[in-house]
Structure 1
Amino acid sequence: MLQSIPTIDICTLADDIKQDDILISRFAPYLDAHKNLFFPHRHSFYHLVLFTDGAGSHTIDFESFTVKPGQIYFMVPGQVHSWSFEGFTDGYIINFSGSFIQSFLLRSGYFDNFSFLSSSNPADEVIDIPAEHLPVIINLFESIIAEAESNEAMGSDMVKLLMLQIFIQLSRIQGKDENRGRQGYNHTLIRNFQKMIEQHYIDVKLPKDYAEMLYITPNHLNAVCKDVLGLPAGEVIRNRTLLEAKRLLTNPKLSISEIAFNLNFSDNSYFTKFFKKIEGITPEEFRKKTLNNKQ
C-alpha cells in the first residue's frame, strides 16, 4: 500500500542510540536536532512526550491539542502526527519499540491495561497531569535520563522498570488502573474486534465477516459495540477506513483515484460518496483544507 507521509524509524533519529529499540532525551535538544519533524509524519514505534515548558499545538490523527506544561501525550505506531510550538519548548521524550517493554514481561498483553498504549483514539493518549502528581512523574523521567547516561550494569532493565512506574502512575491518574484489563468479556471482545479491524479493514468491510472471525453472531457483535463504544459495529469499521483515507489525503502526490484503489473501493465515485457521507465534505475539499492549514 502507498504511504501517505514519511514513516520515521528510531534508527533514523540518532546514530548513537545506547540501548536497543529506545531513544531517551530531553525535549529541547531533541527538537533542535530534528527540526524537519514539524511536518506530518508517522512513527514505527511508541512515542511519548512530557512537556514542562512551552506552548503551541500538536495534532494526532487530525485531532489538535493545545501544548501546555504538565501535559503528556502518547502515540502508538502508525498514527499521523505534527506539531507547532510557540517559543522555547522543553520536557522529556522517549521513543521505544513494543518489543522493548514486552521483552521484560511474561504477560504479552500487558499493554492492554493502559489505554494510552493500546488505543488509537487521541483522546486516550493526551493526559493533563494534575499539579500534585507532576513532581513524581518528572522525577521518574529524570531517573530515566540519568540511567540512560550512566552506562551502569542492567541499565536497560532499570529504564524498563521506571517506564512501567510512569505508565502505572498515569493509569491511576486516568482512573483506569490494572483492573481495566479484566473488565470482562465484552471489553476483551471489543479489543479483539479493534485489533482485527486494524489488520483487515482494507479487505474486510462487513460486520458479519468480523463476527465470523470472532465466533459470534453479527447481532451480538453489534450489541456489544453499542454497549462499550456507543457505536454500531459497521460504523467502527467505516471510521477506521475514513481515518486511513485522511492520512493518505495528506500526501498531494497521491491522486484521489490512487487512494480509492489502495483502500479497495471499486471506483473513485464510490470512495468520494463514502467520504462525503461521513465527513461532510469531499476528499478534494478535505485535502485542500488540511494542506492549507499546514502552510
Structure 2
Amino acid sequence: MPKKSIPLHYLSNESGLGISLHRIDRMNQMNAPHMDAHRDDHGNFFFQEDGHARLMVDFREIELRGSGVFCIMPGQVHYPLETEGSYGWFLGVDMSLLDEHHRAVVDEYALHGFPVSLDSAQADLLMRSLHLLLEFYESPSQYGQAVIQSMLKTCLGIFTSLFEKEILQRTVQTRPSAITSQFRKLLLQHFKTVKSPSEYAGMLSITTSYLNEVVKETSGQPVSHWIQNEVMMEAKRLLYYTDLSIKEIAFGLGYDDHTYFSRLFRKVSGKSAGQFREEFRK
C-alpha cells in the first residue's frame, strides 16, 4: 500500500503528565530495536551514559560517543543507525511543558543540532536527577503530580543548561546573530505558507534589506537560501519516506505550480525530485 505520510509517533501519556521516561539498556547491533524512520509529536531528550550510537536525523548523521546529550525536535524524521553498548535515558516531553526560557534554549539548540559531550560531574548530576524523576514517575499516587512536575522541571533545566552552555561556546552573541536566530525559528514555523523575505522582515519589524544583510553576515547565505533550504528539506523527507507524487508534495508545500517546484528542487538540490527519490531509495 502506498505511503501517503511519514509515520508519526505519539507520546504515550498514560500518566497524564505529558512525559514518557525510561532507561535504555546496553544495546548492540544484534539486539538494538529496529525502528523505522518516523516523526514524533513531542520532544525527545537523550542522555547516553556511555557507549556508541549513531542516529540519522533529517539526512544528517549524529554520532554520540561516551557520555552526552542530544535532543530531537517534534517533526524531525529520525531513526537509529547503530548502537554499540549504548545505555542511558530517554525522556519524551510534550513541548508545551517547557517554560519560556527552556523552550527558547531548545529552539536555539535545534538550529545547530549537535550532540553535547558531558564530563563525569555533569553526567552524574543528570543521572541522579533522572533516577529520582523515574522513581516519582513510577509511583504517581505516592508522590503526587506536583512533585513529579517539579522534578521534571529540574531535569529539563539540566538538559537546557548543558545545551545553552554549548551554544554560548560555539556562537558569538551579537544583534545580527540574535536576529538570524529569530528568523530561523520563524522559518521553522511558517516555511510552508510564508516564502517571502519581506514577510519575515515584517514579522521581525525590520527592513528586508537589513534582514538579508545580517543573515548573510552571520550565516554566509541570504534569507532566500534558508527559505528554500527549509522547504527542500521537507520535500526530501516526503520524497524519501512517502509515496506521495511530486505534484502532491508541491501542493502540500504551498506551490500551486508543481513545475515551478520541480525546477526549484533541481536548482537547490542539483538533481530532479525523481532522481533524488530513486537514488536515495536504492
Give the number of equivalent residue pairs: 274
Closer, same or farther in 2 for the Cα pair 1:225/1:246, shift >3 Å? same
Supply the distance in 1 between the matched residues of 2:248 and 2:44 (Cα, whole angstroms): 30
Shift of 1:35: 4.2
**Structure 1 196/167 Cα, relative in aligned 2: closer, same or farther at 3 Å?**
closer
Give the equivalent residue in structure 2 for 1:20.
17
Structure 1 unaligned residues grouped into runs of 5+? 103-107
2:44 is equivalent to residue 47 of structure 1: yes
CA distance 1:110–1:50, change in 2 (3 Å)? closer
- What residue identity is the alignment partner of 1:168? S
Moved more, 184-193 or 251-260: 184-193
Task: Choose the corresponding residue for 1:265, options 249, 255, 260.
Answer: 255
Match of 1:176 among 149, 168, 171: 168
Residue identity opposite 2:219 in structure 1: L
**CA–CA distance in structure 1, aligned partners of residues 72 and 138 of structure 2:** 24
Deviation at 1:75, TM superposition (A): 1.0
SS state of the match for residue 250, structure 1?
A: helix
Q: Cα offset for 1:261?
A: 1.9
2:264 counterpart residue number: 274
1:194 and 2:195 are equivalent in the alignment: no
In the alignment, which residue of structure 1 is the partner of 2:227? 237
User: Cα distance 1:133–1:200, how it changes in 2: closer, same or farther (>3 A)?
Assistant: closer
Is the 1:147–1:159 Cα contact (8 Å) retained in structure 2? no
Could you report, residue by residue, the CA deviation over 1:259-281 in whole angstroms, capped at 9, with x for unpaired residues? 12222334343222212222222
Q: Does 1:248 align with 2:238?
A: yes
The answer to whether structure 1 residue 143 and structure 2 residue 132 are counterparts is yes
Report the CA distance between 1:143 and its aligned residue: 2.9
The one of the two structures with greater contact order (alpha-carbon pairs below 8 A, sep at least 6) is: 2
Find 2:79's aligned residue among 82, 95, 101: 82
Match of 1:222 among 204, 212, 215: 212
User: What's the offset of the Cα at 1:215?
Assistant: 2.7
Distance 1:255 1:215 in 2: 38
**Per-residue CA shift, 1:133-167, capped at 9, x if unaligned?**
43333333333323323432422212212321232
Select the residue among 158, 165, 169 that pairs with 2:151. Answer: 158
State percent identity of aligned pairs. Answer: 24
Alpha-carbon separation, structure 2, partners of 1:285 and 1:70: 39
Using a 3 Å threshold, how does the CA distance of structure 1 residues 85 and 134 change in structure 2: closer, same or farther? same
SS in 1 for 2:98: helix
Return the match for 2:113 from 101, 104, 124. Answer: 124
SS, match of residue 59 in structure 1: strand
Change (3 A) 1:167 1:86: closer
Where does structure 2 lack aligned partners over 5 or more consecutive residues? none
Is 1:5 matched up with 2:2? no
